[in-house]
Amino acid sequence: MNPVIDAVLAGKIAPLGTQGKRSAIHKVALAARVRVGETGLEGDHQYERRHHGGPEKALHHYSRDHYALWREEWPEASEASAGTAGLLRFDTPGAFGENISTIGMNESDVCVGDVYRMGTVIVQVSQPRQPCWKLNLHFSRDDMSRRVQDTRRTGWYYRVLEPGEVAAGDAVERLARPHAEWSIERLLRVFYVDRDDRAALEEMATLEALTPSWRSTAAKRLESGKTESWSMRLDTPAGAN
């Protein structure tokens, strides 16, 4: 049986953290069907478009199955309000800025290049999500971005192949799987754990379904023999809290 979408979510740009940094990470569930175009859901906003959104990151999908693990590891976040406007808890979708929430899909059984139909939209998995420091502000926890990366519970992004409409209750039907050997979990493991696996990096650098920026990073790592720094992406800048 195909997984079913339990929430479709969108957000507006709003202040984040006590210093009023801007972000649209806070997403709320939509009650009606929504149009999906090349750059994502109609009405869904992104701040700093150089890093967020765009055709290669049109939709962010996060597994609701992970929420139970977050509750176990961080029970106080479910017992008391946390994060943006005191609304974040691990009991409803949207805490991780996702646009699509499902049960029964995760990083180990979704592969880059997978093509899915959701409602009347056709999408293709383009890359894993790379967490950034705004998750730290969103959750009021300085190590949250690193926790998401270290657990590899990141979610993944889609590019839109055919625009259409989507809503909660729609099935997620897989139409194609060109790279069954390249799960999102494997991509994350190569990037963050087995960082000097040259054979895997060589494959990644030529994996056409993978977002160009990820292929470029794999190629640069092969050329330099070094892993790129993650501190600017993961660590909250001074004065941003």
Sequence-ordered list of residues with C-beta below 8 angstroms from that of 129, at least 6 positions apart, any chain: 60, 62, 154, 155, 156, 157
* Interatomic CA distance for residues 77 and 90, integer angstroms: 7
Handedness of CA 67, 77, 9, 20 (dihedral sign): negative
Average pLDDT in the 38-42 region?
96
pLDDT of residue 50: 67
Q: Give tens-digit pLDDT for 103-141.
A: 999 999 999 999 999 999 999 999 999 999 999 999 989
Residue boundaries of the structural domains of the chain: 5-234
pLDDT of residue 83: 44
H or E element at residue 231: helix 231-234
Give the range among 19-33, 70-84, 86-100, 124-138 with minimum mean pLDDT.
Answer: 70-84
* Interatomic CA distance for residues 11 and 24, integer angstroms: 5
pLDDT of residue 78: 62
* Interatomic CA distance for residues 165 and 36, integer angstroms: 6
For residue 86, what pLDDT band results from cuts at 50, 70 and 90?
A: very low
Sequence-ordered list of residues with C-beta below 8 angstroms from that of 15, at least 6 positions apart, any chain: 21, 22
What are the beta bridge partners of residue 128?
Answer: 156
* 57-96 burial code (b ≥16 CB/10 A, e <16): bbbbbbbbebbeebbeebeebeeeebbbeeebbbebbbbb
* Interatomic CA distance for residues 5 and 167, integer angstroms: 7
Multiple choice CATH, 5-234, 2.60.40.1180, 3.40.50.150, 2.40.33.20, 3.30.70.270: 2.40.33.20
Q: What is the mean pLDDT of the chain?
A: 92
**Beta strands at 21-23 and 14-16: parallel, antiparallel or unpaired:** antiparallel
Residue 77 or 120, more confident: 120
**Res. 79: pLDDT tops 70:** no
pLDDT of residue 89: 67
* Interatomic CA distance for residues 197 and 190, integer angstroms: 7
Instruction: Report yes or no on whether pTM surpasses 0.85.
Output: yes
